[in-house]
Structure 1
Amino acid sequence: MPGATALRSRIEEVFAADGVLSRAAPYTPRQGQLDMATAIGETITTGGVLVVEAGTGVGKTFAYLVPALLSGERVLLSTATKTLQDQLFGRDLPGLLQALGLPLRTALLKGRASYLCLHRMERARWDVDLGDRAALLALASVEQWSRTTHSGDLAELPDLDERSPLIPLVTSTRDNCLGAQCPQFRNCHVNLARREALAADVVVVNHHLVFADLAVRESGVAELLPTVRIAIFDEAHQLNEIGVQFLGLQLGTGQLLDFARDTLAAGLQQARGLVDWQHVVARLEHATRELRLLAGQRGANTARINWTGAAPDGLPEAEWRDALQSVCDSLRHAAEALAMVSELSPDFVRLHERALVWMERSQGFLAAGDAGAVRWLDVGGAQLRLMASPLDIADAVQARLLGTGEAAAAKSWVFTSATLGDDAQLRWFTESCGLVGARTLRVDSPFDYATQAALYVPDDIARPADPGHSAQVAAFAAQAVQRLRGRTMVLTTTLRALRTIGDALKSHFEASGGIEVLVQGQWPKRRLMARFRQGNADGQPGCVLVASASFWEGVDIPGDALQLVIIDKLPFPPPNDPLVEARAQRAESQGKKPFMDYFVPEAAVALKQGAGRLIRRESDRGVLVVCDTRLTKMGYGRRLRAALPPMKLLTTQAEFQQSLDALRGPDEEALPTRPSTTAALWP
């Protein structure tokens, strides 16, 4: 590795006005990008932990890639989603390596569910309903592709819906993988990806895989981490929430029913007549469904139910324990049946191991919970998950990720994102991730927000607690969308608001045909984004997209396709969520004020993420609307506004309308106004 001075000099040369980047492609030097790259270079040289908040437009990807690649050290790059992972591996890394002239070997490593399992594909025809022509055609397409793919990465199949029920049938999990006993072990795509990762100079992974492997000490990232000296986590603001999913325990009815299906398929194929497989599986399926039905007595089809006592809130203790014990007993019965035939096939050996794991886990949920964890039921549709997790990942990061000793101290760790807190020390991130002593750096966005963007808070919309709030947001959005001819994203904080606003806008625009209303869930996310980016090009009507959850971040729509972002209300964490409630109680026990020290920082980070969808390039212009008067009328609203980029504040409805008119092209006119299906807010 070059010395500190030499590395800094090379970094400065790359980012210079006449440097490598400017010669490879159109490039504008940014001081913030150079500052970030220099700080990362220093951390690479000295070792330690650096936390960097880099505003939108800084160019943080190249800011961390350049010093990492120039160091000559082995590098692990982790990002939040598989989509960003593919972008980093397929676009950013190859282009930069070519520009730098570095012959480094790169590898992409994802979780098992991203790769085709050849063994399970061969068995899939036993599981696919022969009467379902669509499923058979999809399986045939996968089989044809399997003969030509090198990686086995299902991302190579753009026509395969990520929600397809076929995917679990042709991929493996840690639970059903046969390992070295698999007849396809030599050709396994997961093992091939891991071997390539261990041989590469730069490996691109994702946060889910990092924590999944660390939690169970499975080969993959856990095997890779000791061999790298530089680890960089992009989109690091998601680390805590992703990590707690894997560092606790969970038992899901979907997992149990998958196990039952796999047991029946293997039993009928390879040991028919030796065991009454129908009875074994029927007993487990009945116990599993009874447990789900019991949880449904709470009346919630989609909810998190707190679980602080012997049984979840609102459920009779005796009935709950009996139902959970019945699941445990049916798993024990299945384990005994599988043990009888385990010598016939490695499938039965693995199924037996799975039965024991689920039995042990169900017994664990029958016992009292750990003092340092929180338990809850996650109820969604036909599925039920029993959850137990730590409140944050601080201890796990220190013990399992960073490690101790001289070797650990010599490593370099970089955590970066556009949003890591609303204070100079970035405590929102560093405290939950166990990085309190880390060096921190904040790099502001180079965008001229005062010129490019404006903020408007309507003062005539009901308070969020009012039952009519979502309807009024929908009416407001309808009028704004008509004036702007689409180009609008409505971000909601709840799925209920998503449905209410989406339905109202569809009803409003279905007759006119001038606007296409897109609602999260109607299509796969990739298809929704493709249509929204198209906008009114090629004779298409303009678009408004109503979305929640994952659309608050990681959505990049530069240019005129998106010029208005409407947020229905301030994104405070739901106070009745078990994890949120436990964290608030912990803050109070530490002498803090839960609202100001927990809820407000959480809302500030989420609000900043949502607002970040608006301005993505130096030429972008737009308006952010927050339909929540608490942002301007409550004392904590000043803190939330300070977390937002320094946009111009619009104070009247007339100013807002003028801003929309200014965003339209010179030859465009607003769509004709028609009566709204909800109470109109504009004259």
Structure 2
Amino acid sequence: MPTTLPERVAQVFAPDNVLARVDAHFQPREGQTRMAMAVARTIETGGALVVEAGTGVGKTFSYLVPALLSGERVLLSTATKALQEQLFARDLPRLVETLGLPVRTALLKGRASYLCRYRMELARQDALAQERDIARVLARVQDWSRHTRAGDLAELAGLDERSPVIPLITSTRENCLGSPCPRFRECHVHLARREALAADIVVINHHLFFADVAVRESGMAELLPSVRVVVFDEAHQINETGVQFLGAQLSTGQLLDFGKDLLAAGLQYARGMADWAGLATLVELAARDLRLVAEKTPVGSKLRWTQETPEGVPGAQWQDALRRVAVACTQARDALAMVSEMAPDFVRLHARGSELLAHLARFSDPAPPDAVVRWVDVGAQLRLIESPLDIAVAMRTRVLADPAESESESADGDAQPPAMDPGRAWIFTSATLGEDEQLTWFTQRAGLQDAEILRVASPFDYAAQAALYVPRHLPPPAEPTHSRTLAQWVGDAAEPLCGRTLVLTTTLKALRTIGDALKARFEARDDLQVLVQGEWPKRRLMERFRAGATAGQPGCVLVASATFWEGFDVPGDALQLVVIDKLPFPPPGDPLVEARAQRIEKAGGKAFPSYSLPEAAVALKQGAGRLIRRESDRGILVIGDTRLLTMGYGQRLLAALPPMRRLASEQEFAAALQALRTAP
């Protein structure tokens, strides 16, 4: 009888064993078993394991089986809520039943995913609620609220994730009243956290994890100390997710919300006790004045902020605007202090005012040199942002550290980071974690240089299943005609396939240009539909594209950017052509990108090979990974950037891609396309 965890795991993955008996499609894979054994050893001994598991390895079962068999409390963190739901609703129940284990599981999301009954009551008084469409959606929510137990908005079919109703019916860290809330006993967030504390396996997402690291407020502060095994799936996203939460932000939107809530609470609970309308107006005007400081700056700009004021902003006007915000928030906070005992809303609003003033003071002081980067994001609102360059220090000192060991002082007085908690096991896995054997793209930024590294190749036969083609006639990506020329070429290629095409763009400008051109070309066709990101909710776009040319529906071409580069799984022949418009180098004008490059240069390195190329390689690998999802899939990857063939760094990027066969000419591409059309 197997006694150790690795032995029990090996037995589960053996031919003709439990997985094979319950899943007719299960086939033992050497890579999957090797990963599962490494996870099992790490769980037994503690420490950190980083695993790059290529598409098709079956990494989910590779960490779930040893996690379940270990008998330990386990935290599973995924990149998105969609992946959370897949783990919780499909993969976990299936394995728990298969292995016959008495395991309790729980799903925990952030506040914005749950209905707040108190905010829903307040929403009826909001001006937005008087609009017919908003009122109709609110009525649906109120009807659903009478029957739901979890309060998870994902239960509401057809609710657009972009709906203006969602902020009205959900709470935030800033406006949640906590235990004094009159609806606290029915609070869905509180219920979800209680269930998580009682569960053996808890499924969360990276945003929730790092929100807790930043503010110790999301419910994880109680949960994490009791968990011995932590697994990050889609771990390549944790650095960019982490830096969002480990810095600081102050926005004019926060100020406007504060003013609106101040007015509503004041008139409801303390009418006549203060000039609530005047105080709210003062906050609103200060926020608008701050936004107007950058009124001549194009929307979408990111203003560098290396000096006392952001670039391109008049210094005197900037300082005056910040002063007016401080005066407005101070007066509001002082008025709230006078009535704080009258309602819990005032206690929370007073804390919000104090937090806004603390952030304002932070942004009024110079940014710490080298450690962080600061900038202003110009949109419908103005956002003041300060961010660390990566999460390495936070991971070593606030996540991986032994909680029993405080920071020690070295002989020269420098603080030394505490050692890793020896009793806890940390598993980090993704299909794409770097381009070198040590996965330094991931490990250096995550503070995991001492972790065990394992790379497991994809079992797919890419040479037989997929081809790579770079059209040589396309203009250089910097030419203004590039996107229009590529759109014409994509239309020619997608037409004989009747869709089955995903176009991934590196910029929103290219998204619009290519999307508009393809929609104009095929608008009169009833056998081919062009979908463009942003026109529908993301989930609806995904579902429609996966359906393909079925049930009388036309085939699809989807033009997308950003999040569609990863986590978009389309197995089967609904997707046979993936087109990447150009090499996905990090945007040079982005303040975070510039600061990271400058740090490398200051240390004596070269930013392009050390930063830009690895970034592009990982992104390219992610985009290419959309094409082949099963052993039976066939398809062509097209990269519309001739630099892949003409520049010296092209070989390094090609090496990062799966080993697909190469198509050297338009004739070879046409033949490969024809083979896809005629394949059974």
Q: If the length of structure 1 is used for normalisation, what is the TM-score?
A: 0.95
Matched with 2:622 is: 609
Amino acid at match of 2:626: R
Matched with 1:344 is: 342
Matched with 2:228 is: 229
Q: Are positions 1:655 and 2:668 aligned together?
A: yes
Decide which of 14, 17, 34 is 1:16's aligned counterpart. Answer: 14
Measure, in 2, the Cα distance between the counterparts of 1:226 and 1:537. 49
Task: Give the conservation status (yes or no) of the 8 Å contact 1:210–1:222.
Answer: no
Change in CA separation of 1:220 and 1:446 when aligned onto 2, cut-off 3 Å: same
Aligned residue for 2:295, secondary structure, equals: helix
Measure, in 1, the Cα distance between the counterparts of 2:103 and 2:327. 54
Q: Are positions 1:171 and 2:170 aligned together?
A: yes
Shift, 1:419, TM fit: 0.2
Q: Are positions 1:545 and 2:558 aligned together?
A: yes
Amino acid at match of 2:270: A
Shift, 1:128, TM fit: 4.6
Shift, 1:665, TM fit: 4.0
Shift, 1:427, TM fit: 0.1
Task: Give the conservation status (yes or no) of the 8 Å contact 1:374–1:391.
Answer: yes
Amino acid at match of 2:397: A
Superposition map of 1:422-571 within 5 A: 422-571=435-584
Contiguous gaps of at least 5 residues in structure 1: 668-683
Aligned residue for 1:203, secondary structure, equals: strand
Matched with 1:389 is: 387
Shift, 1:219, TM fit: 5.0
Measure, in 1, the Cα distance between the counterparts of 2:258 and 2:163. 19
Greater mean alpha carbon deviation, residues 398-407 or residues 552-561: 398-407
Shift, 1:21, TM fit: 0.9
Shift, 1:20, TM fit: 1.0
Matched with 1:413 is: 426
Measure, in 2, the Cα distance between the counterparts of 1:60 and 1:448. 18
Measure, in 2, the Cα distance between the counterparts of 1:666 and 1:117. 52
Amino acid at match of 1:250: Q
Measure, in 2, the Cα distance between the counterparts of 1:282 and 1:112. 28
Measure, in 2, the Cα distance between the counterparts of 1:227 and 1:271. 43
Aligned residue for 1:614, secondary structure, equals: coil
Q: Are positions 1:68 and 2:81 aligned together?
A: no
Measure, in 1, the Cα distance between the counterparts of 2:292 and 2:482. 33
Task: Give the conservation status (yes or no) of the 8 Å contact 2:76–2:232.
Answer: yes
Matched with 2:240 is: 241
Measure, in 1, the Cα distance between the counterparts of 2:270 and 2:678. 70
Shift, 1:511, TM fit: 2.7
RMSD: 1.4
Task: Give the conservation status (yes or no) of the 8 Å contact 1:459–1:629.
Answer: yes
Shift, 1:281, TM fit: 1.3
Matched with 1:314 is: 312
Measure, in 2, the Cα distance between the counterparts of 1:636 and 1:339. 61
Amino acid at match of 2:551: D
Task: Give the conservation status (yes or no) of the 8 Å contact 2:129–2:138.
Answer: no
Measure, in 2, the Cα distance between the counterparts of 1:77 and 1:326. 45
Superposition map of 1:97-112 within 5 A: 97-112=96-111
Amino acid at match of 1:9: E
Measure, in 2, the Cα distance between the counterparts of 1:664 and 1:541. 16
Measure, in 1, the Cα distance between the counterparts of 2:172 and 2:496. 50
Aligned residue for 2:478, secondary structure, equals: coil
Task: Give the conservation status (yes or no) of the 8 Å contact 2:129–2:135.
Answer: yes
Shift, 1:129, TM fit: 3.2
Greater mean alpha carbon deviation, residues 268-277 or residues 176-185: 268-277
Greater mean alpha carbon deviation, residues 328-337 or residues 207-216: 328-337
Matched with 2:281 is: 282
Measure, in 1, the Cα distance between the counterparts of 2:474 and 2:221. 51
Aligned residue for 1:432, secondary structure, equals: coil
Task: Give the conservation status (yes or no) of the 8 Å contact 1:128–1:136.
Answer: no
Shift, 1:259, TM fit: 1.5
Amino acid at match of 1:626: I
Matched with 1:635 is: 648
Greater mean alpha carbon deviation, residues 527-536 or residues 485-494: 527-536
Matched with 1:679 is: none
Q: Are positions 1:90 and 2:89 aligned together?
A: yes
Greater mean alpha carbon deviation, residues 253-262 or residues 89-98: 253-262
Aligned residue for 1:342, secondary structure, equals: helix
Amino acid at match of 2:163: S
Cα deviations across residues 27-72 of structure 1 (Å, max 9, x unaligned)? 1111100000001111111111000000000000000000111111
Shift, 1:253, TM fit: 1.6
Change in CA separation of 1:150 and 1:40 when aligned onto 2, cut-off 3 Å: same
Measure, in 1, the Cα distance between the counterparts of 2:288 and 2:512. 28
Task: Give the conservation status (yes or no) of the 8 Å contact 1:107–1:204.
Answer: yes
Shift, 1:199, TM fit: 0.9
Superposition map of 1:144-183 within 5 A: 144-183=143-182
Aligned residue for 1:28, secondary structure, equals: coil
Measure, in 2, the Cα distance between the counterparts of 1:607 and 1:183. 50
Greater mean alpha carbon deviation, residues 266-275 or residues 500-509: 266-275
Superposition map of 1:1-150 within 5 A: 6-26=4-24, 27-150=26-149
Matched with 1:305 is: 303
Matched with 1:676 is: none
Amino acid at match of 2:22: A
Shift, 1:193, TM fit: 0.9
Task: Give the conservation status (yes or no) of the 8 Å contact 2:114–2:188.
Answer: yes
Shift, 1:541, TM fit: 1.7
Amino acid at match of 2:48: V
Measure, in 1, the Cα distance between the counterparts of 2:11 and 2:398. 37
Task: Give the conservation status (yes or no) of the 8 Å contact 2:491–2:518.
Answer: yes
Q: If the length of structure 2 is used for normalisation, what is the TM-score?
A: 0.96
Measure, in 1, the Cα distance between the counterparts of 2:619 and 2:472. 22
Matched with 1:675 is: none
Aligned residue for 1:49, secondary structure, equals: strand
Amino acid at match of 2:660: M
Pairs aligned (count): 663
Task: Give the conservation status (yes or no) of the 8 Å contact 2:123–2:129.
Answer: no
Shift, 1:292, TM fit: 1.5
Matched with 2:413 is: none
Measure, in 1, the Cα distance between the counterparts of 2:384 and 2:486. 35
Shift, 1:121, TM fit: 1.2
Measure, in 1, the Cα distance between the counterparts of 2:57 and 2:513. 37
Measure, in 2, the Cα distance between the counterparts of 1:620 and 1:192. 43
Amino acid at match of 2:341: E
Matched with 2:257 is: 258
Cα deviations across residues 419-474 of structure 1 (Å, max 9, x unaligned)? 00000000000000000111100000000000000000011101111111111111
Contiguous gaps of at least 5 residues in structure 2: 406-419
